[in-house]
Amino acid sequence: MDKTPGIRFQNGSATIVVWAPRAKSVALHLVKHNSQLSLAAKKRGYWELETTQIQPGDLYKVVIDEQFFPDVASVAQPEGVHGPSQALDLAHFERTGTAWENPALDKYIIYELHTGTYSPEGTFDGIIGKLDHLEELGITAIELMPVAQFPGGRNWGYDGVFPYAVQTSYGGATGLMRLVDACHARGLAIILDVVYNHLGPEGNYFNNYGPYFTDKYKTPWGSAVNFDDAGCDGVRHYVVENALMWFRDFGVDALRLDAAHAIKDFSPVHILRELSQQVLALTKQTGRLYHLLAEVDLNDTRFIDPLDKCGYGLNAQWIDEFHHALRVSAGGETSGYYADFSGITDLAKSYRDAYVYDGVYSAQRQKTFGTKADHRPGGQFVVFSQNHDQVGNRMLGERSTELFSFEMQKLMAGAVLIAPYLPLLFMGEEFSARSPFLYFIDHSDPKLVEAVRKGRSEEFKAFKTKSEVPDPKDKNTFDRSKLPWNDYHLSTGKAMFNYYKALIALRKQLPALAIPDRGSVRVEVLADKNILLLQRGKLQQVCAVLNFSREIQAVELPAGNSWVKVIDSADPSWKGPGASATLGQIRPESVIIYKNHDI
């Protein structure tokens, strides 16, 4: 089976493919003509038809045993998740970025954003209007939170129920294609967050088609997708073709696989390995480079080990543990999963070893956890001081702006951008945005809405606070999460932006920072002073001093080099209390980066 599910056009003819292995009859209902086209049964539950009677823009529904459903492989749902599907000719869009070459992952400096809250418009075109800002900042890749069609107009995207369709309120398929082209024209790569471990509850018609889910496993968010139970071949094909569609038809450069650890598959060839194999095949076919990134919390290098080393072949993974160690180092909370982290000692370990828990006992998990990642290069790990999860899953959605001092925010930014890994920023942190990023939904089923409300309240009931859990359904919750662009024009916003801009430029300029080389990393912990010394590079070297204490400190820089200061977060240029004039002296809650004279 090599055909993409759904409707695809070529030479004026439409090829229709539906996987419905339990069906006795399958047809397409054309809304415009109020007529039906019967599909022919093929092997292993597929139904097919080639016809000229449906054209791009036509609305339709799939009729399975005389029951009408939206197409689960629809590429457009203009009337929402319960309405008819719409046929589109994805190949008809005129691309303008044909000369674009996706850079190696080592070059990625990632900026994560949510389309609905990033701009006042809440659309792909709204993002295009902010590309000047992102280009000036110096980031090289934009990561979009999921855009697959979800219920209503407000959602994080992880409740999507039409993986092939682009959210209508964001601008649909053509809007996403315009954004991809606009980014490529400015030298920016596009990463798309996709969800293959579960599907949302409202508008989920998959059970009417076939065995898309299995009871063998559970996920925290709903039924587990069937990757290894009876009937799984059609599901695996559906998911692989979806990933290839984003690369092939939309020009996306990388996919971020949400919670890949929740993808359960005991097949001889894991679905992620199969996906990597198919993406490599697409690269050979198109000559274009594509990347697969994963959110994984298992500290298991099998996900990123190469295919020829019996791994799944994914190109990189997020490291939450770097975030946890950094937040504790900065004086953040120490409850929940943060209880497993001791501050700068664990941060130093993450700088050296990527994983903090790499085969050692975790008190929080009550077991020995993780494996060594010594054999994996730094370019396979993504680090951050905040992201949508770490902000949005707080009860009040507070950003670092609300939790840490202005100086500490700059220190944390420096800690991320000097790491021998791929840095990720969350929208607004570059200008110290003050708005929360809250959890919001727009479901239409009152029972489901109430269940979500109850779930959020239960999640935070142990917190001793007078604050109410924000109502996820209330539009005000969504509106409060809109990025406050006025903050960018404040003196603090401009100062923070200029600081981030300088840090990113420095990372690109200095080879010791630009190359995510773990082999040259040397870290010294000065526990009595709450200071880390991070040294990177070989002949060309940098030394960063990170002072997490609230006192002015003096340190002895590593011998053997003539050190020159290149950036000091305490500099008045970014509203700091004043840069230190003495070599090795550092202000409270600040970072200084030195380079040797040979650079």
| Residue 381 burial (C-beta neighbours within 10 Å; 0-12, 13-18, 19+) | buried
Residue located via tokens 């935070």: 460
Dist CA 203 CA 211 (whole Å) = 17
Do 257 and 194 touch, CB atoms closer than 8 A? yes
Distance from C-alpha of 32 to C-alpha of 53, rounded to nearest angstrom: 11
Consult the annotation and say whether 256 binds a ligand: yes
Question: Is 321 part of any known ligand binding site?
Answer: yes
**320 a known binding residue?**
yes
User: What residues have CB less than 8 Å from 413, skipping those under 6 apart?
Assistant: 385, 429, 499, 500, 503
* Residue 260 marked ligand-binding: yes
Tokens of 202: 């409202």
- 390 known ligand binder: yes
Cα 327 from chain centroid (whole Å): 20
Compute φ and ψ for 90, nearest 5 degrees: -65, -30
Residue of 71, 249, 295, 568 with catalytic role = 295
258 known ligand binder = yes
Residue 33 assigned to a binding site: no
Instruction: Tell me how far apart the alpha carbons of residues 503 and 211 are, in angstroms, rounded to a whole number.
Output: 50
Whose tokens are 């009876």? That residue is: 230
- Active site includes 215? no
Q: Please indicate if the annotation marks 323 as binding a ligand.
A: yes
Which helix (H) or strand (E) element contains residue 179? helix 172-185
197 assigned to a ligand binding site: no
Residue 388 labelled as part of a binding site = yes
For residue 264 the two structure tokens come to 């359960």
Residue 157: both structure tokens together: 């995207």
Q: Any known ligand binding at 324? A: yes
Could you tell me if 399 and 436 are in contact, meaning their C-beta atoms sit under 8 angstroms apart? yes
DSSP for 357-415 reads -SSEEETTTTEEE----TTS-GGGEEE-S--HHHHHTSTT---HHHHS-HHHHHHHHHH
Q: Measure the CA–CA gap between 109 and 111, rounded to whole angstroms.
A: 7
Among the listed residues 258, 274, 398, 517, the single catalytic one is 258
> Is 233 annotated as ligand-binding?
no
Q: Is 322 annotated as a binding residue?
A: yes
Give residue for tokens 């139904």.
Answer: 47
Q: Which residues pair with 26 in a beta bridge?
A: 64
Instruction: Specify whether 258 is catalytic.
Output: yes
Please state, in angstroms and rounded to a whole number, the distance separating the CA atoms of residues 188 and 88.
Answer: 26
Q: What are phi and psi of 403, to 5 degrees?
A: -105, -20
Contact 472, 452 (CB under 8 A): yes
Which of 276, 244, 281 lies closest to 263, judged by CA? 276
- The residues that are catalytic are 258, 295
Known binding residues for substrate are 256-261, 320-324, 388-393
State the binding site.
256-261, 320-324, 388-393
